Structures are given as C-alpha cells and as structure tokens.
Structure 1
Amino acid sequence: MTTASTTVSTTGRRVFTGALTFLLTFLVGATAAVADTPLSDDWPVKESRSTLDILLLFGGGTIGLFVLISLFAVLTARTNYVPPAPSQDLATTAGSDAATH
C-alpha cells in the first residue's frame, strides 16, 4: 500500500464517519420528537407557553449563567498580599547574643 492510497483511505473513513454520525444524531433527535407527540386526539391539549415564559426560560438562564461566571471571575481575580521587602537592619534585643559553643 502506498502513502497516497492510505491518505485517501483515511480521508474517506473520516468523511464516512462524520456523515454517519450526523445521520444517527438526526434520526435519534427525530425519534425523540416523534415520541413526544401524541398518537391520537384523545390526549388533552398541552397548554402553550407564553412569550414571557419563553423569555424567562432562555433569557433568565443565560443572564444567570453570565452573572455566575462574572462573579466567579471577580472573586478569583483579586490581588494577592505581597509582604514588604526585608530590611537590612538587624533588630537586637537584650539577651540575644550569639551562643558560644
């Protein structure tokens, strides 16, 4: 097998895998949507959501997430304590003479 045929082979597999993944995801999503719809008219009609409900659901969640991430960023981006540089003077006290051995 040559390098060119190996490249074509792996490219074909990648394209096929991507197309198959898209198709399976589409079918599973469509199946879930069909399962949610009633098969007959005997089921009670579901109350539709108002515009305010939809705005609160999507907009409120988005704004809440934005506030949460911003709060986390503010709390973690604080300046840390940096102690002052040590002084060159030695402080001596009575009885702090060097020990002799």
Structure 2
Amino acid sequence: MTTASTTVRRASTLAATFLITFIAGATAAFADAPVGDDWPAAEGRGVLGNLVVFGGGTLALFAVVALFGLLTARNNYVPPPPSRELATTPGNTPAQH
C-alpha cells in the first residue's frame, strides 16, 4: 500500500465521519417540537435562530475553553530553586512512604 492511497483513505474516512456526525447533530437539533395532528403548529425558526442553534453553542464552548486557557496559563507555578540542605524527618525517624 502506498503512502498516497493511505492518505486518501484517511482523508475520506475523516470527511465521511464529519458528514455523518454533522447530519446526526442537525437531525437532533431540528427535532425541537412535537410532530402530530394533536399538537398545535409551532412557529418556524428564522435564519438567525438556526445560526444560534447550530453555531452558537459551539462558538460559546470555544470561547469558554479559550478564556479558561488564557486565564490559567498566565499564572504558571514556578517552583523555588533547589536548596543544598538535607531534608530530614522530625526525630530522625525514617519517613513512611
């Protein structure tokens, strides 16, 4: 098997996985109202509503993760430099590990 065919196979697998996941997510997102004759007709969502449903959650999650990363990365712990003193236990008894 050549490297080119392996690369094509991996890329097509990635594209197919993305497409299946996208269709499954879109199907679940559109199922936001009951269907049947006994239920009153619901108002349809507009383009802005669809953008909020499909992209808003993803963008909000991305923003939260990015902010968390930025806020935690700026205060990295820097340990003190090692000392030459020998650490002993109280009473010179062996440490229990």
TM-score bucket of the superposed structures, by smaller chain: 0.3 to 0.5
Rg bigger for which structure? 1
Q: So what's the TM-score if we normalise by structure 1?
A: 0.39
